[in-house]
Amino acid sequence: MRLRVSPLMSWAALSRPPSAPASAGALGGRPARGASRRGKFKSGRAARGGPGHDKKWMRAAALITVPLLFGATPAAAADSNLFNGKTVTYIVAVGPGGGYDTYGRLVARFMQKHLPGSRFIVRNVPGAGHIVGANTLYASKPDGLTIGTFNTGLIYDQLIQREGVLFDLKKFSWIGKAATDTRALLIANNSGFKNFEDLRNSKQPVKFAASGVGAADYVETRIIADALHINAQIIPNFTGNAGEMSMLRQEVAAKVSTVDSMEDFVKSGHGFWALSLTGNPSALLGVPRAMSYAKDDRMRRLLTLVETLSEIGRLTAGPPGMPRNLLDAERRAYDAAVSDPEFLSEAKRLQLPISPATGEAVGAKISNALAQPPETVTFLKSAALAK
């Protein structure tokens, strides 16, 4: 069977409300770099995964949407034709061009390949740090024809009952996850701190950059400062690569970040990873793990929450109440997509780390992350709102 993919539609109206048409693009072609590997160092994306401000992601996302004809391979014999002749909308909860958009388009294109006769269209629904896109997906008809992706930082938003949250993450129909967003504490080389112990023992407040009050990196900085007794002063409202530039000017000394977003800054010799916030001991070998400093159950709960968000990046989900046969078919297609040799080759070409997990595994981790005692929720509320 051959699938005909419609031409790329215009990207526009990045902040329309859910009721208005959001930007959409038909899926297609083979991603290719077509440009230099990276810039001097990658601009830092907002911790909640905003538009990205990253030319690498914009180039990659644009190239993914070049039209292409390709054959479809069934994920499994049973129910393999459930989506034959159907159009599936894949919601990405940010505007075009960032890392979430790039992952989303690649995943959607290969899910189309493994759902015979289907046609996938990406719809960008940005707003309120992924909340608008997640609300839109949650309210969609559970017929398997609307799925999508958003940031795991929404776990914090649900726990603190942030205004505008209309979803319950436990009720989404989880399809799978593509990557691990390893988080870590980065220290600038010009800060005077040689390691985490130096920073931790500082008598003077250590200035941390963060993307905004209440954003995931802001909350996580508050978590490690509280759990590990760091004398931290968080400076918010750094967007794009402003945090990196501020470190170069010695205005701030550190920041909590995903490893991927600051990889080039570190490789350029401007900073180093001082503390790993992931539960995976094989990630950031040689870097001390935050959990090794936890002295009581409260500290361990807080750090485990950060570890969980680090382990379930680049999610794909459907709305609540999807019929089991449709959910199973999309889960099989997703699992086949993220293990497809061509998918892995193109992800490598685009420098997109892949560390997949099943929908069942994602759902279990989400439920565990949301099962927090009142003490933890109270702390998170203060961490998200403190100035």
Per-residue pLDDT of the chain (387 residues; tens, 9 = 90+): 333 333 333 333 333 333 434 445 555 443 333 333 333 443 333 434 443 444 455 555 555 543 333 344 444 444 668 999 999 999 999 999 888 999 999 999 999 999 999 999 999 999 998 999 999 999 999 999 999 999 999 999 999 999 999 999 999 999 999 999 889 999 999 999 999 999 999 999 999 999 888 888 999 999 999 999 999 999 999 877 899 999 999 999 999 998 988 999 999 999 999 999 987 878 899 999 999 999 999 999 999 999 999 899 999 999 999 999 999 999 999 999 999 999 999 999 998 999 999 999 999 999 999 999 999 999 999 998 765
Write the CB contacts of 233 (distance below 8 Å, at least 6 apart in sequence): 205, 206, 207, 208
Sign of CA dihedral 326, 330, 333, 335: negative
Domain boundaries, the chain: 2-180+312-370, 183-307
pTM of the model: 0.79
Determine whether domain 183-307 maps to CATH 3.40.190.10: yes
Domains 2-180+312-370 and 183-307 share a fold: yes
Nearest CA among 35, 106, 47, 36 for reference residue 260: 47
- Return the pLDDT at 96: 93
- Return the pLDDT at 260: 85
- Return the pLDDT at 56: 52
Burial of 198 (0-12, 13-18, 19+ CB in 10 A): middle
- Return the pLDDT at 386: 65
- Return the pLDDT at 27: 57
- Return the pLDDT at 387: 56
- Return the pLDDT at 346: 97
Homologous superfamily assigned to 2-180+312-370: Bordetella uptake gene, domain 1 (3.40.190.150)
Q: Please compute Rg for the chain using Cα positions.
A: 20
End-to-end CA distance of the chain: give it in Å, rounded.
57
CA dihedral 190, 191, 194, 199 (to 10 degrees): -170
Q: Token pair of 150, please?
A: 């958003």
CA 326 from centre of chain: 25
